[in-house]
Structure 1
Amino acid sequence: MSRCVEEPLEKMRATGASCVLRGSGLLPRVNLNKECPFWEDDSKCAIRYCSVKPCTDVPEGIKGAPIDRSEKKQKEKSHMVPGHCDGENDLGYLNTTLSKESKVGFKRWAAHDDAQLNFCKIDDESSEDSEYVDLLLNPERYTGYAGPSAHRIWRTIYQENCFKPSRAIGRYTDFSSIGANDFLKEMCLEKRTFYRAISGLHTSINIHLSANYLLSDQNGFEVSKDGQWGPNVQEFQARFDPELTGGEGPLRLKNLYFVYLLELRALAKAAPYLESLEYYTGNESEDNDVSKAVKDLLTVVKSFPEHFDESSMFSGGQQAAKLKEEFRQHFWNVSRIMDCVGCDKCRLWGKLQVTGLGTALKILFSGNLDQPGNQNLDLPAARHAKFQLSRIEIVALINAFGRLSSSIMALENFRQSITKR
């Protein structure tokens, strides 16, 4: 399995596509000021490593709508025509503006349509509370955010939003520990997929925190004023060693590979759609670099063997449609729980990766957007079904897949460190 994973990663680095995975040219915009919708948030992290530094220098092309270059050229060309007169256009002028009421109505309709397809709650980019964030300046790592507040996040996700077996299972202090027994076998494929996707995401985040842990000296004081981060083998073993986790650790790591293949499949399926987009920042040189990097990445993704088959899921009439809607609603709730994370930096990365996974689920399960037997999104069918991805979703999808890739690389480093002991 590791060989299958490392090969495309090596190709990505060789082609330069890793710049996209690191967030270059794809700045996320996120609202870190939303109130928790489920409980009163009284546990805001006061540790300085929890804070997020927003971008102050954002390219105009990212802040505004992309300019239609063909329309711009057409206007320039029309002014070069002999005898051209602005008055001629005035005679046939058509007022295409919308009233304030109409704009509000269209926005409400669009939100309703999006909600029928989306698997997660997407931040409103037009909100005054939304800020652009440079992920390179705000890396995902251990910040010291722990204790009851952090545990409540995952406990709520597992206990109240993951599907449960039909028979009573009792009250688990950590619902993420059901993987070692037979409970998962009692659930259908779709419900097992949901649990394994959540568990794989949880595993990936835990590996990130173990690989970028806040190190300290023997007296418990930080090594430097700004802190020093590095791999913590003991922390990794506490989360994944079979003997220290009751046999759960290897299953959690197995779910990491599962969610990696799920998102890999989503990228491959959406490749024609993603390749048809214009990646616009306002800087033509950077636009070309980002566009080339995305296409190089998708070329590698499409060459990777298929390991996740979504066609076997949600088939079977009305009951299957009902189950898919439950699936979507459960994940929608998970995305809302991310607004309850008390650490801003943890909230940033949690929202980004959950949105990325939700986007992958949207690609895989949003209706019959592809023809039977076709392994990619059929563009005409997608347009007919009004399928589209927002800039936030595309940024999240690519960066979330990058985090899973980094987790697998870090996992190999931990294996080597443990073997050498």
Structure 2
Amino acid sequence: MKRLSIILYSVFLAFCIGTCEGQWFGKQKTPSKGSSSAGERCFCQLKGVIDDCSCSIETLDSFNNLKIFPRLNSLLSQNFFRYWKVNLKKDCPFWEDDSKCAIRYCSVQPCTNVPDGIKGSVVYLEKSKAEKEKYFKGNDCGGENDLGYLNTTLSKESLDGFERWAAHDSAIDSFCELDDESSSESDYVDLLLNPERYTGYAGPSAHRVWRSIYQENCFKPSRDLTPYADFSSIGDMCLEKRTFYRAVSGLHTSINIHLSAQYLLSDKDGFVDSSEGVWGHNIEEFQRRFDPELTGGEGPLRLKNLYFVYLLEMKALAKAAPYLESLEFFTGNEEEDTDVRKAVVDLLNVIKGFPNHFDEGAMFTGGFQAAKLKEEFRQHFRNISRIMDCVGCDKCRLWGKLQITGLGTALKILFSGNFDQPLDQQLSLSTIRLTKFQLSRGEIVSLFNAFGRLSMSIMELERFQEEIMR
């Protein structure tokens, strides 16, 4: 009996390994539609410790779904985070692209009713409202006739100069090529009215974008890559290059989950119908993107990288927490702004309490070669941010740019060195000077929304698993 048990266990183990590894390209199989075994293949590696991290997938599932997602979902509906300024009219800097969306839902409607407070300064100083008014209106402590008076006010022109310097310094440290928010071609977009959904954008144009990202702008293992991601030799790369690769793959995975979860299920009247259509989970689309038998064994590994990039962006929020907690999140609505500040502090306190954060301190150590690798890392990601202007679908471009900007902002926080000193060493409330902790409003909005997309993806994974396993 004992021997029989051992044999049965061995057969079961071999089956699990075989279904997780799947077949390589050229040997694909078509899984049975809706079968539980097809679903199990997608999720069979989503357990245990995440590669290059000390946290388990089970821990992150619980932490995200119970603590992070409800808070983020509420916060991102607030005005400060729902409006993002973006230029969707830029030409692709790498190739000519005349592709168009397959369905009408790919269009983006600019917003004309943006709260006045959001249209203010691009740069946010860590100053209280009273202090800002003091510097703009003049010191109200007696004026020039007071003994020992020192005029510490700055003109509007000087403040504009500071902001230009800050923008220049930020560009040097930035991991993204940011849109010029002052450009006449940049528009505010209401993210809640333009949700990320399946648009039918596919074919050569979409494949060229991702192929360019992976083949030309990702660090490569010792052997050539497939058009997307091949993790079979990722262990040949150093930690820094693995981090880059897994972060890009995790973001790609997250986008694919969103498109499978918000799929156009019904649009009976086609282009003449003014309704919103029926959107929801498309299990077959999810399996097509992540079933190991249809992805050369890569699907479950790609899903695992979602958790990796989630940890990376969460650590960036934790590291920048002292700076973010000092901001006003100003929209002009005093009551709402107060609620947003409290909600941000509450979210960041939960994030800071997470026990197994991503350890960026283990990266880029070792002098000149490390510094050279970090700059190469930064330039690779800046190139990816420019590739987003080659996306032929407006809605795909909007959400691609936002999530790449959010990830780039996270990398800036983790690796630029500007967030390594305690806030009180950089920020003096007795003088008005720009701190090295500076982020633009666009970076802040993209950072929170990008993390929100990852949080939603982990939540959707649980829902897909429940539906597939029924």
Q: Under a length normalisation based on structure 1, what TM-score does the superposition of the two structures give?
A: 0.85
Q: Quote the Cα distance in structure 2 between the aligned partners of 1:418 and 1:259.
A: 25
Counterpart pick for 2:280 among 224, 227, 230: 230
Deviation at 1:71, TM superposition (A): 4.8
Cα deviation digits, residues 198-220 of structure 1 (max 9, x gap): 00000000000000001138999
Q: Quote the Cα distance in structure 2 between the aligned partners of 1:162 and 1:195.
A: 6
Deviation at 1:270, TM superposition (A): 0.9
Matched, 1:130 2:186: yes
Q: Quote the Cα distance in structure 1 between the aligned partners of 2:272 and 2:353.
A: 45
1:369–1:385: 8 Å Cα contact kept in structure 2? no
Counterpart pick for 1:58 among 109, 114, 118: 114
Cα deviation digits, residues 129-173 of structure 1 (max 9, x gap): 11111111000010111111111110100010001124x42x73x
Deviation at 1:80, TM superposition (A): 12
Cα deviation digits, residues 230-269 of structure 1 (max 9, x gap): 1000000011112222211110001000000111111111
SS at 2:338 equivalent: helix
Q: Quote the Cα distance in structure 2 between the aligned partners of 1:74 and 1:382.
A: 19
Q: Percent identity?
A: 65
1:37 corresponding residue in structure 2: 93
- Pick which of 114-123 and 356-365 moved more: 114-123
Counterpart pick for 1:253 among 303, 320, 332: 303
2:310–2:455: 8 Å Cα contact kept in structure 1? yes
1:319 corresponding residue in structure 2: 369
Matched, 1:6 2:62: yes
1:265–1:306: 8 Å Cα contact kept in structure 2? no
Deviation at 1:402, TM superposition (A): 0.4
Quickly say closer, same or farther: Cα 1:224–1:392, change in 2 above 3 A: closer
What amino acid sits opposite 1:234 in the alignment?
Answer: E
Matched, 1:25 2:80: yes
What amino acid sits opposite 1:175 in the alignment?
Answer: Y
SS at 1:132 equivalent: strand
Counterpart pick for 2:448 among 395, 398, 413: 398
Matched, 1:69 2:130: yes
* Number of residue pairs aligned between Structure 1 and Structure 2: 397
What amino acid sits opposite 1:246 in the alignment?
Answer: G
Quickly say closer, same or farther: Cα 1:76–1:395, change in 2 above 3 A: closer
Q: Quote the Cα distance in structure 2 between the aligned partners of 1:106 and 1:289.
A: 27
Deviation at 1:10, TM superposition (A): 2.3
Q: Quote the Cα distance in structure 2 between the aligned partners of 1:223 and 1:3.
A: 44
What amino acid sits opposite 1:143 in the alignment?
Answer: T
What amino acid sits opposite 2:113 in the alignment?
Answer: D
1:142–1:214: 8 Å Cα contact kept in structure 2? yes
Quickly say closer, same or farther: Cα 1:218–1:190, change in 2 above 3 A: same
Quickly say closer, same or farther: Cα 1:385–1:209, change in 2 above 3 A: same
Q: Quote the Cα distance in structure 2 between the aligned partners of 1:97 and 1:78.
A: 14
Deviation at 1:226, TM superposition (A): 3.1
Q: Quote the Cα distance in structure 1 between the aligned partners of 2:324 and 2:424.
A: 14
Matched, 1:175 2:228: yes
2:403 corresponding residue in structure 1: 353
Quickly say closer, same or farther: Cα 1:293–1:141, change in 2 above 3 A: same
Q: Quote the Cα distance in structure 1 between the aligned partners of 2:271 and 2:167.
A: 49
1:23–1:399: 8 Å Cα contact kept in structure 2? no
2:431 corresponding residue in structure 1: none
> What is the root-mean-square deviation of aligned Cα atoms in Å?
3.3
2:60–2:307: 8 Å Cα contact kept in structure 1? no
Q: Quote the Cα distance in structure 1 between the aligned partners of 2:114 and 2:156.
A: 29
Q: Quote the Cα distance in structure 2 between the aligned partners of 1:208 and 1:143.
A: 11
1:276 corresponding residue in structure 2: 326
Deviation at 1:191, TM superposition (A): 0.5
Quickly say closer, same or farther: Cα 1:243–1:62, change in 2 above 3 A: same
1:298-377 alignment runs, 5 A limit: 298-367=348-417, 369-370=419-420
1:242–1:248: 8 Å Cα contact kept in structure 2? yes
Unpaired runs of 5+ residues, structure 1, are 86-91, 371-376
